[in-house]
Amino acid sequence: MYNGRVQVAGPADVRELPGLVISKIAVGPYNNNSYLLRCASTGASLLIDAAAESDRLLGLVGDGSLDYVLTTHRHADHWQALGAVVAATGARTMAGTIDAVEIPITTDVALSGGAEIALGEVTLSVFEIAGHTEGSISVLYDDPEGHGHLFTGDCLFPGGIGRTLNEEEFDSLYNGVVSEFFSLPDETWVYPGHGHDTTIGVERPHLEEWLSRRW
């Protein structure tokens, strides 16, 4: 059974949802998570964060083609393998409009909040929240059974929001996460950019604590 607890050099954890198959793998020195999303009906696929270890990411893709690679934000630990993965697969690149200019691999599809990504018969909704970076993006899949699956990059982790460097960034990220993510149902599953998974319901009781401690 999927639990989202993966380790660098360890196997992928695979979750088969109605309409979508999610494969999670941990790569690189910063324990980055990369997620392969594949439409169950058409095989269309999208990799979230080609962070490191292109050989392992290409092994995760396997013999199937890769349609897109989405980079959640501009920090270098999230795109170290992007060039190699794109060169090997011909996948089109996606990133947030604001952060894309600082990612050294050309972005083919620039995304802003409110956009939708068509992946075969699957639709992903895009959130854009400033704070960790100016243009971090996250994506949500609502499965046919009414359950949400939210890929948050470095905006939300188990135990708190992502790193910020000043009060203005903290306020922006905290307020964005609360208004966008915590308007979702408690059972919404959260797939972060590093570490283990969580849910909105597990994290919701701690919002005031995060606001008080300011991280």
Residues 32-58 pLDDT 10s: 999 999 999 999 999 999 999 999 999
Q: Determine the pLDDT at residue 63.
A: 83
- Long-range contacts from 62-65, C-beta under 8 angstroms, 24+ separation: 64/38, 65/89, 65/90
CATH class of the domain whose range is 13-213: alpha beta
Residues 157-197 pLDDT 10s: 999 999 999 999 999 999 999 999 999 999 999 999 999 99
153-168 exposure pattern, b = at least 16 Cβ within 10 A, e = fewer: bbbbbbebbbebeeee
Quick check: 145 pLDDT over 90? yes
